[in-house]
Structure 1
């Protein structure tokens, strides 16, 4: 879990994913000699802060978003949410501006419906603040801020170790509505002809999706992917005896939205471990679900 711990500490709120991209690029370049196959690494001009790993002759792509939720300094002591973080008074936030490193406290003004920070000086406007990482591991669970979606990224990196044919796409901006998957999907389709996608992200523990009972395969959130594709995934999971749960929700979304609304005939499915205390500093995931997630992705990337 040390790699996951490192990922959870990296400052990469939506719109400023460059540190995460640089970390992943360094990790891949350092580790790829130990992998079953070396990928073609695509980044830079035309990809903004995204990163593509292309293995062999790809048939399926894994999308994993690198960004996190957080807060941005407005004017004075005001804060604006980046995405949908839980905002409770007393949370510790960290960041950095031109005057140095910052560790401050979140304040909630219920009467004015405003978020503020408490710090010894005024923080420069536009500075991003994120939850301070307190990584906790037990025999059964992992708990930290930003398991959504550093765990999805971590899972994709585990898959990369044995992947021979496929694409792993690390994208940006998911927590604020997307923005990169559209052009990544276009490039992947036009260059490799791939139209199958798996969304490596983290979902919620609910009354129907429970911690410790397997990875969630989503039949729907606010959108409904093509049923025959999802049923094929469920059948492969059953045949491989990989612990899984079927998720059916009426709201929520992921990188699948940009695939769904785009002009390319993508088949896509959200597959991820469920977590409790969503979008807080205390996101909690069961290790059984983490390992089931990795096992299912490895199996699907071979079989689809």
Structure 2
């Protein structure tokens, strides 16, 4: 089947920071119609889709949320100060368009750090990397109107169009909408087919602030095997030595050995490697020094769950230009589908 890149574009551009995943969840739920036997939403906002099978209870998790912000203060001139929800490198936040999701409706804004422009700053001031607390949002409105429309706690998301870029697809929130897309595509390929496992596709919440949705989701599902789908570093770019690249874009799905949140179950890693080799699916082994996925929460649920992560290599992670290779998307869909179908 051909990848539905229009769906990936819609997923990327949909806003949904930790704790405010509603719009993304609604988009995903609409896509699940006819693909699974049951859909429900739990107390944490996880969307849990069940496709019946005769084998082990398998939980496949892909998180709905993206890194973003919450309004924490509105000053006397109408500028907004924000608090980050997820990890940002502030070097990537200069001169960004954002959307403030107020109760009265979405408001366009501009994000910049406080300070002088290049024309009037000193060489020393230009070298400084601002802290998150120095960034503000300008809505271009009088202070009175801002105070009428915006409240502390309103979500703020980065704005970016998702587009095809050669052999890549790029946009905001590919972490983890690319994995949400992979899970939906796998379910589409399994439509009307019997599967060897009892599948729970769980679209989790609040991953970017501590794997929270996956923790409670796994407690409720009680899986016997856990599979997290997420992006990983592909730092195969100029000035980065190969041994630091983690993965390479276009070389296939990453089968994670370990990261900072989990060490994958060894026999499960071996099973996926053998399956990828048997099916001729491009794959690469991954060791990630820092960062984690929902697998870290799933494997610690109840008495413990054998778990691993399938990773989509991504360039420019945690920016609005995250880029995933179409070949890697296809490889991830193919490997996950093959495992679930038993074929």
- Give me the TM-score of the superposition, normalised by structure 1: 0.90
Give yes or no for contact 1:220–1:249 (8 Å, CA) kept in 2: yes
Matches within 5 A, 1:116-135: 116-121=136-141, 122=146, 123-135=150-162
The offset of 1:52, in angstroms, is 1.4
Greater alpha carbon shift after TM alignment, 106-115 vs 249-258:
106-115
Aligned equivalents of 1:101, 1:248: Cα separation in 2? 40
String of CA shifts for 1:75-128, please: whole Å, max 9, x gaps: 122111110134321011113213432111111243895221122233422111
User: What is the alpha-carbon distance in structure 2 between the residues aligned to residue 275 and residue 202 of structure 1?
Assistant: 6
From the superposition, tell whether residues 102 and 196 of structure 1 become closer, same or farther in structure 2 (CA, over 3 Å).
same
* Structure 1 residue runs of 4 or more that deviate by more than 6 Å after TM superposition: none
Report SS of the residue matched to 1:278. Answer: coil
Q: Distance in 1 between matches of 2:308 and 2:178?
A: 17
Q: Does 1:219 align with 2:276?
A: no
Matches of 1:82 and 1:267 in 2, distance apart?
29
Q: Which residue is 2:312 aligned to?
A: 273
Corresponding position: 1:239 with 2:278 = yes
Deviations 1:12-34 (A, max 9, x none): 110011122222222222xx1xx
The aligned residue for residue 324 of structure 2 is 285
Is the CA contact 1:80–1:115 (under 8 Å) kept in the aligned structure 2? Answer: no
Question: Partners in 1 of 2:200 and 2:300 — Cα distance?
Answer: 21
**CA distance change for structure 1 residues 111 and 94 in 2, over 3 Å: closer, same or farther?**
closer
Q: How much does 1:303 deviate?
A: 3.2
Structure-2 residue corresponding to 1:168: 201
Across the two proteins, how many residue pairs are aligned to each other? 292
- The 5 Å alignment of 1:1-304 reads 1-29=5-33, 32=34, 38-44=35-41, 46-57=42-53, 59=56, 60-76=58-74, 77-87=80-90, 88-109=93-114, 110=130, 113-121=133-141, 122=146, 123-163=150-190, 164-165=194-195, 166-189=199-222, 194-206=223-235, 207-222=245-260, 223-303=262-342
In our comparison, the structure showing a higher alpha carbon Rg is 2
Give unmatched runs, 5+ long, in structure 2. 75-79, 115-129, 236-244
Q: Is 1:64–1:149's contact at 8 Å kept on the other side of the alignment?
A: yes
Stretches of structure 1 lacking an aligned partner (at least 5 in a row): 33-37
Contact 2:276 2:283 in 1 (8 A): yes
User: CA RMSD for the aligned pairs?
Assistant: 1.9
Aligned position for 1:35: none
Distance 1:112 1:66 in 2: 24
CA contact (8 A) 2:82 2:133 kept: no
Q: Note closer, same or farther for the CA distance 1:91–1:56 as it changes in structure 2 (3 Å cut).
A: same
In structure 1, what is the Cα distance between the partners aligned to 2:7 and 2:221?
A: 28
- The separation in 1 between residues aligned to 2:50 and 2:159, in whole angstroms, is 33
Q: Distance in 2 between matches of 1:184 and 1:292?
A: 26
Is the contact made by 2:38 and 2:51 (CA closer than 8 Å) also made in structure 1?
Answer: no
Give the deviation of 1:233 after TM superposition: 1.2
* Contact kept? 1:79, 1:114, Cα under 8 Å: no
SS at 2:70 equivalent? strand
